[in-house]
Amino acid sequence: MVALAARWRDSGSMPYLPSLTILALSLASPQDEPQGSAGKNPQLDARESFLVSQIDAQRAGKHLRELTQEPHIAGSEADYRSALYVQGVLEEAGFEVELSEYHVLLSLPESISLAMTAPEKRSLNLSEQPSSLDEDSSDAGASPGFNAYSASAEVESEVVYAHYGQPEDFDWLASQGVDVAGKICLIRYGKIFRGLKVHNAEARGAAGVLLYSDPDDDGYRKGSTWPEGPWRPRSGLQRGSILYLSHLAGDPLTPGRPAHVDAERMQREDCSWLPQIPCIPISWGTAEPILAGMRGKNVPQNWQGGCPTTYFTGPGPSRVKMAVKMQEEIKPIWNVIGRLRSESSSERFVMVGNHRDAWVHGAIDPNSGSAVSLEAMRALGALVKSGWQPPYEIRYGSWDGEEFGLIGSTEWCEDHASEIQANCLAYFNCDAAVSGDRFAASATPDLVRMLAEAAARTEAHDGKGRLLTRWAHGGSRPPVGNLGSGSDYTAFLCHLGVPCLDFGSRGGHGVYHSLFDSAYTMEQYIDPGYRVHASMARFLAILTYRFANSEELPLDIAAWGPWLHSALESLRDLQDRDRELLLAGIAAFAAASEKGPSAAQALSLHAAFLHPEGIASRPWFRNLLVAPGLDLGYGAVTLPGLREAIESEDLRAIEHERDRLLAALARATELLR
- Using H for helix, E for strand and C for coil, what is the string for 471-539? HCCCCCCCEEECCCCCCCCHHHHHHCCCCEEEEEEECCCCCCCCCCCCHHHHHHHHCHHHHHHHHHHHH
Which pLDDT value is given to residue 594? 84
CATH number, domain containing residue 127: 3.50.30.30
Residue 542 in contact with residue 457, Cβ under 8 Å?
Answer: yes
Phi, psi of 91 (to 5 degrees): -65, -40
Which pLDDT value is given to residue 344? 85
Which residues constitute the domain of residue 437?
58-104+330-444+469-548
Among 9-13, 113-117, 332-336, the minimum mean pLDDT is found in 9-13
Interior angle at CA 153, CA 150 and CA 159, nearest 5: 85
Residues of the chain with pLDDT > 70, as a percent, come to 93
Residue 528 amino acid letter: P
CATH number, domain containing residue 561: 1.20.930.40
Better pLDDT: 39 or 661:
661
- Contact residues for 562 (Cβ-Cβ < 8 A; gap 6+): 6, 7, 8, 445, 590
Residue 112 in contact with residue 126, Cβ under 8 Å?
Answer: yes
276, 308, 325 - which closes a domain: 325
pLDDT digits (tens, 9 = 90+) for 564-611: 999 999 999 999 999 999 999 999 999 999 877 777 787 888 899 999
540 & 593 share domain = no
Query: What whole-number distance in Å separates Cα of residue 550 and Cα of residue 544?
Result: 10
530 & 565 share domain = no
621 & 637 share domain = yes
62 & 128 share domain = no
97 & 122 share domain = no
Task: Give the count of domains, the chain.
Answer: 3
Residue 559 in contact with residue 409, Cβ under 8 Å?
Answer: no
Q: How confident is the model at residue 29 (pLDDT cuts 50, 70, 90)?
A: very low
What average pLDDT does the chain have?
A: 92
Residue 206 amino acid letter: A
543 & 619 share domain = no
Q: Within its chain, how far is the Cα of 342 from the centroid?
A: 32
292, 325, 358 - which closes a domain: 325
In this prediction, residues 69-85 reach a mean pLDDT of 98
227 & 307 share domain = yes
pLDDT digits (tens, 9 = 90+) for 277-301: 999 999 999 999 999 999 999 999 9
Which pLDDT value is given to residue 23? 38
360 & 311 share domain = no
The residues facing 429 across adjacent strands are 353, 502
Residue 292 in contact with residue 309, Cβ under 8 Å?
Answer: yes
* Nearest to 496, CA basis, from 421, 428, 427: 421
- Burial of 330-369, coded b for 16+ CB within 10 Å and e otherwise, reads bbbbbbbbbbbbeeebeebbbbbbbbbbbbbbbbbbbbbb
pLDDT digits (tens, 9 = 90+) for 340-371: 999 888 999 999 999 999 999 999 999 999 99
- For residue 145, pLDDT over 80 is answered with yes
156 & 145 share domain = yes
DSSP per-residue codes, 133-197 = TBGGGG-TTPPPS-EETPPPEEEEEEEEE-TT--HHHHHHHHHTT---TTSEEEEESBSB-HHHH
Q: Within its chain, how far is the Cα of 69 from the centroid?
A: 24
pLDDT digits (tens, 9 = 90+) for 167-207: 999 999 999 999 999 999 999 999 999 999 999 999 999 99
491, 517, 548 - which closes a domain: 548
Residue 168 in contact with residue 191, Cβ under 8 Å?
Answer: no
Domain membership of residue 520 (yes or no) is: yes
241 & 345 share domain = no
Domain membership of residue 653 (yes or no) is: yes
In this prediction, residues 644-658 reach a mean pLDDT of 96
181 & 154 share domain = yes
338 & 301 share domain = no
CATH number, domain containing residue 520: 3.40.630.10
